Structure 1
Amino acid sequence: MKKYIIELNDNRACELSISGGKGANLAKLHHIPGIPVPDGFVVSAQAYKELILSEPEIGKLLSRLEEITAEETKTISQLSKHIREEIIKLSFPVGFIEIIGEVLAKHGDSLPYAVRSSATAEDLPGASFAGQQDTFLNVIGVKNICKAIVRCWASLFNERAVAYRIKNGFTHSKVAIAVVVQKMVVPEVSGVMFTADPMTSDRFTTVIEAVRGLGDDLVSGRKNPFEWKLREGRLMKTREGEGEMPLEEEQLWELAGIGKKIERDFGCEQDIEWCYNKDGFFIVQARPITTLYPLPPSPDGYKHCAISVGHLQMMTDTILPLGLSMLKKSRFYSFYELGGRMYTDITHDLRTLRGRRVFLSEARIKDPLLHNALQEITRRKEYVRKIPKGPSSAISLEGRAAIIWRAISAYFRPDEAEIDAYVQRQKFAIKAAQRKLEALSGVEALQFILDDQKNMRITICDPAGAGTVLTAMLTATLIDRTIEKITGEKAISNRLAKSVKHNVSSEMGLKLSEVSDVARKYPEIVSYLEQVGEDLSLEELRKVAGGQEVADKLEGFLAKYGMRCPGEIDITRDRFRERPGLLCASLLNNIKNLPAGHAAASFEQGKQEVEQLIKELVAKVETAYGKGEARKLKRQIEIYRKFVGIREYPKYFWMSYYDVYKQAIMREVNKLVETGVLKDPRDAYYLSIEELIEVVRSGYANQDLIEERKSAYRSYAALKPPRIIFSDGEVPLVSYSAHIPSGALAGLGVSTGIVEGRARVVKKFEDAHIEKGDILVTTFTDPSWTPIFVSITGLVTEAGGMMSHGAVVAREYGLPAVVGVVNATRLIKDGQRIRVNGTEGYVEILE
């Protein structure tokens, strides 16, 4: 039995398989000179294996548990409870209890101890398992410590621990658990320290949280901690805690130094638990921070700068390998994959004036926070001067000269017939690609998709579309300058963008509202929608009273907008056409919150409001500058309103192409599943388009590679992508310079007005169950979110700029909106009452 007990200062205790993650890390800390760690010992994982896993009944239960999926929460609860009960009722061998007694006598058997779980799949670089198993504090005496050890073993099967292992792909029977028994330190102050900022991924920042008394009060949330951030010689208090200040500045820097020493020895950034009393600081736990964003590469050893394409394109979610490979082939962006998302290395562009202008200009329009950070970087003269020569990451627009010429000609000869011709050309090209793919199969079909990317790009960048969008943007600038001089109001063009023609995204929301109007006539349909939710089926819908009419109306909607979906630039995402149930919540929102006929009435009301606004503006300009300038303004507004909606067309047609491509891809993928080459159609999403072609050609798929990528993407999904990240780990601070009320959350006002209401914090489009008066708070929106905009009264997003989708549609619908609010979905709680100031650009939490 003695082999089961190993002192923390014994080299053997550093082995993960013996001591588990927590125990191994504590043993390693013991061996770092100058790092104070309380003494103790480990009950090895071998003890758990021999005393627990050898029990036949527990073995049977574990076999059943291996078959359970994360969705089977009730079964997880029942099975895990049964396993815990089986473990707790087991008796310790007498010899084991005697050995525990001998070791305790050596350390002090009357002293209080902390008895802590230490699983072999815990505190690892890829998965922390933080808080998944139990810890017991102030345990005194052999009998109580033995009980606590058994309870630690049982805690390996807490519901949260079981669910976490399933989610992260760990086999239950292969995960063992050791137990750390460590002398308690009676602390005056306790806390946690991160040697890199876990929220921003900045490796240059140390974050320290502290409370008076036990650290359990901090972890459990019973006390609000003080928080400081230490960066390059600067100390910032970022949160005021309860009571007196627990640590002085000198102590904070001392603690930060201990943290960096541990980081150097462990070779990666650390999440550290510590405590402090009259004898100084003690380290009671250290584990890798598992939520840091991966670093961009530096092929030449210089400090490279990467920016998030996702923030510029309103898509900060992960994009699966098939989606990324399609985006690479489309060449709308130059990027590489980092953390399952798109990043562009702009290092060499920062070196040149042209390169800086390209990316600053795009960021200014699409993400002001990114723009502000880029401006700060360009002021680092020494860094910029030393950047080595290299290729630019900027992509030139197809037919740039033709687009500029079209923009100029559209201003002087604004012919709406050319827009109609442009739309018809797009539809014809998409239909031609569809007919071609219907005649092809196998490798030929997939190869056609690859070869067609250039044609798609040229078609979408048709000067008739892109040029008139540029006309609208330039005209908006002229209008805004004129009106600001007279009234002081900035960006009046935002208010002039309501109820315009050709805005295919805004039209989508109104068209779905018309579907809701048909559905609301039939109580049975409303009841059916409430019951089925995301499982909505058109076939089943037709069987309900009134279902034929509603299904026909919905099919008409899907014929025009079925290619759209949340995160639509990732071709692997389910389209509305594939999963009409994604629209169920929006249909019900409309029925509950909007009157019948809202779509037409809303559009007409917006049109009348703008017409009145135009009259007022023209009159003011005439008073200030005369009739000639008034006529000029009126003409500019007419041009602007004629063309501003067209900006939504290019992406609409891009997604129409993607829908055609995806149908062809899935035809081939389903064949692979039928022949057993792939286990599941979605497995194809974890292959690039080139790899998928090779699978079709060879009839062989590397399932191990697919599973490996699935595991990687599970971890990527939990990461928060920074707007900018350097290859050395620096993440520049992003902030607004605007003056706002104390306690308010800063952002960019993109649609004027002020509104108060209940915050509805939504992470997924299909979960947007909106009540009347709700304000939508989310990470980002793309055109597929438009149906929700019909039912809300305001918008707050974490990403976005003046020309992002959410901003454009919010202006169209007259919704006050603030975008680019950092951590909005974390700082604003669902159900809180908030005030959105879309004019000044901030959000206030009222309760």
Structure 2
Amino acid sequence: MTTWTRDFEAIDAGMLATVGGKAANLGELTRAGLPVPSGFCVTTEAYRQVATLAGVDGSHEAEKARELILGAPVPAEISAAILAGYAGLGDDVPVAVRSSATAEDLPFASFAGQQDTYLNVVGGEAVLDAVRRCWASLWTDRAFSYRATNEIDNSSVQLAVVIQRMVQSDVAGVMFTANPVTGRRHEYVIDASPGLGEAVVSGAVNPDHFVVQDKKIVERRLGDKRLTIRSLPGGGTEHVELTVGSDEPCVTDEQVLALASLGAKVEQHYGSPQDTEWAIDGDGELWLTQSRPITTLYPLPEKSGKDTRAYFSFSVAQGLYRPITPAGMAVFRLIASSAGREIFGIDVADPLAGPPAFAEAGGRVYLDATNVVRSKAGRQLMPKVLGVMEARSGKVLTDLFDDPRFSLTQKSRRKFVLRLLRLAVKYRIPPRMLQALISPAAAHRNADKVGEQLRRRIALPGDATAIQRLDHIERVLLKEIVPLLPRVIPSAGAGFAMLGLAGKLLGGTAGLQPVLRGLPHNITTEMDLELWHLATRIRGTEAAALFRDLSAEELAQRYREGTLPDIGLAEFLRHWGHRAVAEIDVGMPRWSDDPTHILGVLANYLRLDNPEMAPDAQFARGAAEAAETIDRLVAGTRRKRTVRFALNRARELAGLREMPKYFLIVALGAVRGHLAHIGAELAGAGRIASAEDVFFLNLKEMRAALAGITYQDVVATRRADYDQELRRRRIPRVMLSDGTEPEAVSQTAPAADGSLPGTPASAGTITGIARVVLDPVGAHLEPGEILVAPSTDPGWTPLFLTAGGLVMEMGGANSHGAVVAREYGIPAVVGVADATHRITTGQTITVDGATGVVTPA
């Protein structure tokens, strides 16, 4: 054993930096006693020596780096070590020579196929040449691009090379120990084809396909297997066209089940689902030639048990795709505990852990909906609620009604009805609704009073200690917020009840949508219009040129330095600075912490030069259209006074729907301020590296840190995990406890004309240029462009003022984005599956907000 090579038996999983991901896995599998062909690894130290001689340091373009590596001399001692290792495998034995990068087969990025592999290499000189070419393949264009996508620094990556005895396989392929499409764990998906496994791995052949579940083959599909890759005598491979055999499987049922059994052993060893490569030689012996983590699987909910459970993504329903910080998750757990006790009468043993239905997966909040799906009342209510909140989730959960694992167990609705009655009495919901109908002005005064009480209850003296602030946070979240919200909700409910009543009296809800245009008393609309008025004040001032010439980041820097002209931003932030993008996560900076987003929005507004498209003008037109619609509907009915009363009350009260969440955001803004003080103290004491790191601790850990425990390493690990989750693009709306994503199982094929179906959200049709925005911070949206987003929350709504239309992946008819789109009068379709993948920026699309269809031009 030298610094240049390592035998598989001398390699374990902790040697990633020395041998790379592929070799680390092969060494680990060998040491575990699994059937791995013998081999050795040329270490990263050998590559480093050659790269240094070549002058490659990570700063070169990919093509130049490849040229330098291929032209560099290989030191004699390295060549000798490689040849000695090769000789130890046998006399001119055929080997596979594979790249093994340090950024490879990682939990978040597999790098599969990014570097080169050479099969059936025979002879010492051929092995040395293949090793050199593997080193150079670290700098292929595809590997270079993949690292950039995964934000991996080129200078930090090294390459080792695996040299392994060839399995002259009769049949080979790949096996996943969890279904990579549906996410289901312990479901073994096997692809097999005659010859070497490269035919399957490279996608050159349609293989036989098998799925094994509970030691039974539950699915089989034969491929045409028109091509095989075989070893040539003396080295190299050949591609051979096959003319027969496509109607027969290339592996027996016994071999398929043996593969699944081997996959179970591999997964058990690693403790996580694996993507493996395998081969069966001419003697029928089964070999494992590679194993790596399946990086695309969504993590299981933390509370998954033996029984199959159904989990609903509360995060997605709230328009939040990004992960939630640990502090934000801790806040959610306390609020959920409070709601469990106050509203549902659930005994929560540990409020810091949350109620039994609360679960975390991938840094997102999931709720256990199993009992709801199994109850008669839940089956009746849930589709209606989710139909207007998050329609796609509602459809997926409804499909579970036919699954025998979720059969009805609670057939009586008596308990549910009694609970509703108790809540109605406890929070005086009928009297509050009646009061709002009698006097909308009183309802608005009541909302203001609730806001004042909340602000008083969450305030603390400026000299409060860190431990006092932490105690206060826990008390406020557990006892103060949830009980206040039912005092406001009935007023908004009364407004929507009047809208429903009007619909019944008029014989249907068709034509009612314009009634909610330009809706008054909506706190988010008021914020957006105030921001627009701020933009109008900037026009014609010296600051306008700065907004035209500087980036949002440069403007923010000037604002912090005090060199930005006074444009009224400080006053706006005093009133609205507690708001943010993804604002339900207390770990997200508020606009008062970082005004970059707001300054970028103002710059967008200043590009709007058509007065007819000005947001305040559009809002005024919406209000006028609502008045005209009410007059027209009243004129067409015999119950004129009742219908006018109902529609007028709907307009006066429905805008209050935003207030409960707004009050929650006010509270979270105050909580964030208290946490910032705690973070500053912990950073000063060296318990965390910076004050912002406090948001990567939960409340229990903050208490321990104040008592003297250091959490710098914990925070570093969580930040890395959080950054990985930020890159995840697909978030299951509903998932089962075995990892299955039901929506993936029942996914329908795209329409023949390329149209994308969704849920109608705001009537009207627009054809325009799409702008796909994954994060509104720093987003550039030209006036009239169609905003295509995964989801939205109030932090996104300033973009709505200049958008010509809206397409969202999530949501229902009454989700936040849908409501605001209607109020602003822009066509919108929500619940469009994979919209941000299937639509590209610059593409011309048509959004039909009445039919719920998005059509590419």
Give yes or no for TM over 0.5.
Answer: yes
Give the one of 565, 571, 592 matched to 1:556. Answer: 571
Find the counterpart in structure 1 of residue 470 from structure 2.
446
**Counterpart check, 1:418 vs 2:442:** yes
Q: 2: CA distance between counterparts of 1:695 and 1:33?
A: 43
Find the counterpart in structure 2 of residue 365 from structure 1.
388
Shift of the 470–668 alpha-carbon distance from structure 1 to 2, 3 Å rule, reads same
Contact 1:755–1:837 (8 Å) recurs in 2: yes
Deviation at residue 754 of structure 1 after TM alignment = 2.2
Contact 2:313–2:733 (8 Å) recurs in 1: yes
Find the counterpart in structure 1 of residue 402 from structure 2.
379
Q: 2: CA distance between counterparts of 1:721 and 1:752?
A: 28
Pick which of 816-825 and 527-536 moved more.
Answer: 527-536
Pick which of 666-675 and 568-577 moved more.
Answer: 666-675
**Counterpart check, 1:599 vs 2:615:** yes
Give per-residue Cα distances to partners, 1:775-827, cap 9 Å, x unaligned. 11111100110100011111111221222110111111112212222222122
**Counterpart check, 1:479 vs 2:502:** yes
Contact 2:44–2:158 (8 Å) recurs in 1: no
Deviation at residue 256 of structure 1 after TM alignment = 7.8
Q: 1: CA distance between counterparts of 2:128 and 2:462?
A: 69
**Counterpart check, 1:608 vs 2:628:** no
Give per-residue Cα distances to partners, 1:631-652, cap 9 Å, x unaligned. 3222221111111111111111
Contact 2:313–2:365 (8 Å) recurs in 1: yes
Find the counterpart in structure 1 of residue 323 from structure 2.
318
Q: 2: CA distance between counterparts of 1:778 and 1:229?
A: 37
Give per-residue Cα distances to partners, 1:280-313, cap 9 Å, x unaligned. 9998654220221222356763222222111222
Give the one of 38, 41, 46 matched to 1:44. Answer: 41
Give per-residue Cα distances to partners, 1:417-455, cap 9 Å, x unaligned. 213312321342244246534352221122112212245
Contact 2:552–2:778 (8 Å) recurs in 1: no
Contact 1:137–1:184 (8 Å) recurs in 2: no
Q: 2: CA distance between counterparts of 1:227 and 1:792?
A: 49
Pick which of 776-785 and 836-845 moved more.
Answer: 836-845
Shift of the 596–217 alpha-carbon distance from structure 1 to 2, 3 Å rule, reads farther
Find the counterpart in structure 2 of residue 763 from structure 1.
774
Shift of the 636–711 alpha-carbon distance from structure 1 to 2, 3 Å rule, reads same
Find the counterpart in structure 2 of residue 128 from structure 1.
110
Contact 1:530–1:588 (8 Å) recurs in 2: no
Give the one of 75, 84, 91 matched to 2:75. Answer: 91
Pick which of 503-512 and 159-168 moved more.
Answer: 159-168
Shift of the 191–784 alpha-carbon distance from structure 1 to 2, 3 Å rule, reads farther
Find the counterpart in structure 2 of residue 294 from structure 1.
299
* Identical pairs, percent: 27
Contact 1:536–1:580 (8 Å) recurs in 2: no
Which blocks of at least 5 consecutive residues in structure 2 are unaligned?
A: 228-240, 341-354
**Counterpart check, 1:825 vs 2:836:** yes
SS state of the match for residue 336, structure 1? Answer: strand
Give per-residue Cα distances to partners, 1:17-58, cap 9 Å, x unaligned. 4865334656889999999x9x7x64414x443x35578968
SS state of the match for residue 179, structure 1? Answer: strand
Contact 2:66–2:136 (8 Å) recurs in 1: no
Find the counterpart in structure 2 of residue 510 from structure 1.
529
**Counterpart check, 1:269 vs 2:273:** yes
Q: What is the letter of the counterpart of residue 602 of structure 2? A: L
Contact 1:43–1:180 (8 Å) recurs in 2: yes
Give the one of 543, 560, 565 matched to 2:580. Answer: 565
Find the counterpart in structure 1 of residue 704 from structure 2.
694
Q: What is the letter of the counterpart of residue 44 of structure 1? A: C
Q: What is the letter of the counterpart of residue 556 of structure 1? A: E
Deviation at residue 15 of structure 1 after TM alignment = 7.0
Q: What is the letter of the counterpart of residue 263 of structure 2? A: E
Shift of the 699–251 alpha-carbon distance from structure 1 to 2, 3 Å rule, reads same
SS state of the match for residue 551, structure 2? Answer: helix
Deviation at residue 655 of structure 1 after TM alignment = 1.1
Deviation at residue 699 of structure 1 after TM alignment = 4.0
Find the counterpart in structure 2 of residue 177 from structure 1.
160
Q: 2: CA distance between counterparts of 1:161 and 1:834?
A: 33
Shift of the 21–345 alpha-carbon distance from structure 1 to 2, 3 Å rule, reads same
Contact 1:21–1:123 (8 Å) recurs in 2: yes
Q: TM-score, normalised by structure 1?
A: 0.80
Pick which of 518-527 and 533-542 moved more.
Answer: 533-542
SS state of the match for residue 826, structure 2? Answer: coil
Q: What is the letter of the counterpart of residue 525 of structure 2? A: S
Give per-residue Cα distances to partners, 1:390-428, cap 9 Å, x unaligned. xx9999899643353146415751x12213312321342
Give the one of 186, 202, 215 matched to 2:184. Answer: 202
Q: 2: CA distance between counterparts of 1:344 and 1:181?
A: 48
Q: What is the letter of the counterpart of residue 823 of structure 1? A: D
Give per-residue Cα distances to partners, 1:162-191, cap 9 Å, x unaligned. 99599799998897723246759999x999
Find the counterpart in structure 2 of residue 780 from structure 1.
791
Contact 1:759–1:777 (8 Å) recurs in 2: yes
Find the counterpart in structure 2 of residue 520 from structure 1.
539
Shift of the 343–244 alpha-carbon distance from structure 1 to 2, 3 Å rule, reads farther
Contact 1:749–1:840 (8 Å) recurs in 2: yes
Q: What is the letter of the counterpart of residue 529 of structure 2? A: L
SS state of the match for residue 544, structure 2? Answer: helix
Contact 1:88–1:150 (8 Å) recurs in 2: no
SS state of the match for residue 44, structure 1? Answer: strand
Contact 1:87–1:153 (8 Å) recurs in 2: no
SS state of the match for residue 520, structure 2? Answer: coil
Which blocks of at least 5 consecutive residues in structure 1 are unaligned?
A: 66-74
Shift of the 479–125 alpha-carbon distance from structure 1 to 2, 3 Å rule, reads same
Contact 1:114–1:135 (8 Å) recurs in 2: yes
| 1:828-843 alignment, distance < 5 Å | 828-843=839-854
Find the counterpart in structure 2 of residue 70 from structure 1.
none
Shift of the 772–30 alpha-carbon distance from structure 1 to 2, 3 Å rule, reads same
Find the counterpart in structure 2 of residue 685 from structure 1.
695
Q: 2: CA distance between counterparts of 1:56 and 1:278?
A: 40
Pick which of 137-146 and 321-330 moved more.
Answer: 137-146
Count of residues in correspondence between the two structures: 801
**Counterpart check, 1:671 vs 2:681:** yes
Give the one of 586, 592, 595 matched to 1:580. Answer: 595
Deviation at residue 581 of structure 1 after TM alignment = 0.8
Find the counterpart in structure 2 of residue 69 from structure 1.
none
| 1:227-306 alignment, distance < 5 Å | 233=218, 251=249, 260-261=260-261, 263-267=263-267, 268-272=272-276, 285-297=290-302, 301-306=306-311
Q: 1: CA distance between counterparts of 2:416 and 2:137?
A: 51
Q: 2: CA distance between counterparts of 1:482 and 1:342?
A: 40
Contact 2:829–2:848 (8 Å) recurs in 1: yes
Contact 1:87–1:154 (8 Å) recurs in 2: no
Shift of the 543–655 alpha-carbon distance from structure 1 to 2, 3 Å rule, reads closer
Shift of the 272–476 alpha-carbon distance from structure 1 to 2, 3 Å rule, reads farther
Q: 2: CA distance between counterparts of 1:822 and 1:203?
A: 24
Q: CA RMSD in A?
A: 5.1
Q: What is the letter of the counterpart of residue 320 of structure 1? A: T
SS state of the match for residue 844, structure 1? Answer: strand
Deviation at residue 128 of structure 1 after TM alignment = 2.6
Deviation at residue 343 of structure 1 after TM alignment = 1.4
Q: 1: CA distance between counterparts of 2:757 and 2:189?
A: 22
Q: 2: CA distance between counterparts of 1:788 and 1:263?
A: 49
Contact 1:406–1:468 (8 Å) recurs in 2: no
Q: 2: CA distance between counterparts of 1:811 and 1:137?
A: 61
Find the counterpart in structure 1 of residue 230 from structure 2.
none
Deviation at residue 575 of structure 1 after TM alignment = 0.9
